[in-house]
Amino acid sequence: MKRQKITSSELLCAICFALCFFAFMLTEAFINERCAVILGSSAVNPVYTFGLVCTGLGFFSFSLLRRLCKKEKSRKTAQTILGILCIGAAMVLLFANQPALFLTSSSAALLLTGHISGCVYYNTAMYFAGSRYTGRLIGTGMGAAILLQFVVQNLIPQSVTFIISILFSVAFVMYFIMKAPKDWILENPLPYSSDAKKDFKKTLLLIVAVVLMSLVAGMIDSVLTAFNAEKSYDIYGGVRLFYALGLILAGFLADIKERKYLPLSTVCTILLSSVCMFFLSDEVSYFAGTALMYLYSGFYVIFFTVMFLDFAPKSGNPELWAGMGRIVRSFTVAATVLPALTIYDAVGNTVLAVVSCLLSILILLVLLPYLSNAAVSLKPIEELISGSPELSPQERLKLFAQYCSLTPRETEVLEKLLTTEDGVQEIADSLYISRRMVQRYISSIYEKTETKTRLGLFQSYMNFTAK
């Protein structure tokens, strides 16, 4: 048996994630552009701030609605209605020329986009639990989304294109949510068997780090958003391609040695981004400064996205924790944008640059546990087996599960399949979950082990242990 490849389900999920990110980024950019026309350039940053709050609330609302809707049917109905409302809000936004209608439709569009994004982030966290390819698939998908946004906004900048893009993206996302072969979104998954308490302490440090990173991002965002609104600089032009580059690079780096290098590389790019504040004083150096900012943004976004996607399945509330990075980012940047712009207008960019450097050092200190105790690369499975010929059956099962990137809960189902003759219903009863959920776990196990039957699974396991 070959080492696990990227499954079709993972690839489809990554496409869904990318389109969701594309819809969100395009909506946000369109609102800022329309705001400058309808309300004036001075209103862009306040509206941007309010939009960030709406986005954060949207992510949070998904967790809340999921807890309120206990039945699969009600969850399906709610997500369908909200998807339709999201498309409707985008259409109203397109034709809204009155300030009140513009602000209402903008708020609704970002709130609903945030909610759907929360749904997609949760779905992604459950799909990619235990996967070796989370970083590169998410990073490549988000990078492709930025490239698509660049094409839409710069090469075919028409209002109808905006609506078509939003319609297609949201429609695909909703279809994926409703028809996905592993429909985690509509039924509670089997709880993750892990030492979540141990992980939770490190996750609190992670939240603090993301807050500090977001303060740096917020200070830079405030200045660049204002410049773009005033047509001084174009932040959606060719320089934005550095954002796509950062996302893709960080995504691939994240998968090396189980996230070992992601925190350190993110800290390094933060230090570079702090320098970019010095380059925002004139048009000549603007491109270099903005390029550095976008490169950092790519690493920063991948960092808080992937790290929380990893943690979510281990938590007791994965629907909330999957999008926690985006929630923290939204509220922190919202609290930073207006004060940072006031400081910039009053004393220039030097003070902001110094503050950014100090925050970068503080981030480094906060992430020291991640940097010093980062996950080290595991020895090849073959080496572990050859070095320990007397492995117990339980240890061999664990290595097989690790080899196939199974989650701890998938491993529990695997053990039942390999060591008992229990049928699906008996396995469901022993694990206290529904028959349908067991079938979904079995489908996932078959896909990851590249088998199609229980007998084929047993044969793959025997071939593995024979090594």
Residue 222 lies in a domain: yes
Quickly count: other Cβ atoms within 10 Å of residue 198's Cβ: 10
Examine the domain organization and report whether 398 and 331 are in the same domain: no
Residue 381 in domain = no
Q: Hey, which of 91-100, 162-171, 225-234 has the most confident mean pLDDT?
A: 91-100
Query: How wide is the angle at C-alpha 278 spanned by C-alphas 362 and 29, nearest 5°?
Result: 85
Q: What angle do CA 236, 304, 308 make, to 5 degrees?
A: 140
Burial 303-342 (b: 16+ CB within 10 A, else e): bbbbbbbbbbbbbeebbbbbbbbbbbbbbbbbbbbeebbe
- Are both 327 and 255 inside the same structural domain? yes
Domain match, 293 and 427 both: no
Q: Identify whether residues 358 and 425 lie together within a single domain.
A: no
In this prediction, residue 198 carries a pLDDT of: 54
- Over the stretch 248-271, which tens digit does the pLDDT of each residue have? 999 999 998 878 888 888 888 888
Q: How far, in Å, CA of 134 to CA of 143, rounded?
A: 14
Query: Rounded distance, CA 3 to CA 7, Å?
Result: 12
Are 118 and 59 in contact, with CB atoms under 8 Å apart?
yes
Whether 2 is in a domain gets the answer no
Query: Do 390 and 368 lie in a common domain?
Result: no
- Residue with more model confidence, 3 or 138: 138
Higher pLDDT, 193 or 211: 211
Query: Are residues 394 and 367 located together in one domain of the fold?
Result: no
Tell me the torsion sign for CA atoms 359, 364, 367, 369.
negative
Which band of pLDDT confidence, cut at 50, 70 and 90, is reported for residue 141? very high
In the listed set 348, 372, 396, which residue is the last one of a domain according to the structure?
A: 372
Both 237 and 278 in one domain: the answer is: yes
Query: Crossing angle of helices 424-431/408-419, nearest 10°?
Result: 130
Residue 85 lies in a domain: yes
pLDDT of residue 241: 92
In CATH, what number is assigned to the domain containing residue 262? 1.20.1250.20
Contact 330/52 with Cβ under 8 angstroms?
A: yes
For the cut 60, the answer to whether the pLDDT of residue 381 exceeds it is no
- What's the mean pLDDT in 61-84? 87
Distances 330 to 6, 25, 169, 326, 327 between C-alpha atoms, Å: 31, 13, 22, 6, 5
Return phi, psi of residue 164, to 5°: -60, -40
State CA 313 to chain mean position distance.
14
pLDDT at 3 over 60: no
DSSP 51-77: HHHHHHHHHHHHHHHHHH--SHHHHHH
The range of the structural domain enclosing residue 420 comes to: 386-465
24-63 pLDDT, tens digit per residue, is 998 998 898 889 889 998 898 999 999 999 999 999 999 9
Tell whether 405 is covered by a domain: yes
Instruction: Give the pair of three-digit tokens for residue 317.
Output: 């509330």
Do 428 and 286 belong to one domain? no
- Is residue 377 included in any domain, yes or no? no
Which of 49-58, 332-341, 343-352 is the least confident region? 343-352
pLDDT per residue as tens digits for the range 386-400: 545 567 777 788 888
Q: What is the mean pLDDT of residues 292-299?
A: 88
Q: How far apart are the first and last CA of the chain?
A: 11
Q: If 0-12 CB within 10 Å is exposed, 13-18 middle and 19+ buried, where does residue 63 land? A: buried
Domain boundary among 342, 372, 402: 372
Q: Looking at residue 396, which CATH number applies to its domain? A: 1.10.10.10
Residue given tokens 């992601």 in the structure block: 262
With respect to residue 91, please indicate whether it lies within any of the assigned structural domains: yes
In terms of Cβ atoms closer than 10 Å to its own Cβ (0-12, 13-18, 19+), residue 419 is exposed
Residues whose CB is less than 8 angstroms from the CB of residue 168 and which lie 6 or more positions away in sequence, other chains included: 19
Question: Which alpha helices (H) appear in 69-133, and where do they start and end?
Answer: 72-95, 99-127
Instruction: State the Cα torsion 291-293-297-298 to the nearest 10°.
Output: 20
Query: Are 329 and 393 found together in one domain?
Result: no
Mean pLDDT to the nearest integer, 448-453? 83
| Residue of 41, 37, 173 lying closest to 93 (CA atoms) | 37
Lowest mean pLDDT across 122-136, 156-170, 370-384: 370-384
DSSP string, 351-377: HHHHHHHHHHHHHHHHTHHHHHSPPPP
Most confident of 138-142, 152-156, 350-354, 413-417: 138-142
pLDDT of residue 387: 47
**CA separation for the pair 278, 56 (Å, rounded):** 30
d(CA 298, CA 268): 12
At 27, the amino acid letter reads T
| pLDDT at 197 > cutoff 70 | no
Amino acid 379: pLDDT: 44
Residues 300 and 323 in one domain: yes
- Residues 211 and 349 occupy one common structural domain: yes
**How many structural domains comprise the chain?**
2
Claim to verify: residue 366 and residue 392 sit in the same structural domain: no
- pLDDT surpassing 80 at residue 130: no
Does residue 357 belong to any structural domain of this protein? yes
Q: Tokens representing 15? A: 């496409």
Across the chain, mean pLDDT equals 82
pLDDT above 50: residue 80: yes
254 and 302 Cβ atoms separated by less than 8 Å: yes
Calculate Rg over the CA atoms of the chain: 23
Given a cut of 50, whether residue 81 has pLDDT beyond it is yes
Query: Where residue 283 falls among pLDDT bands split at 50, 70, 90?
Result: low
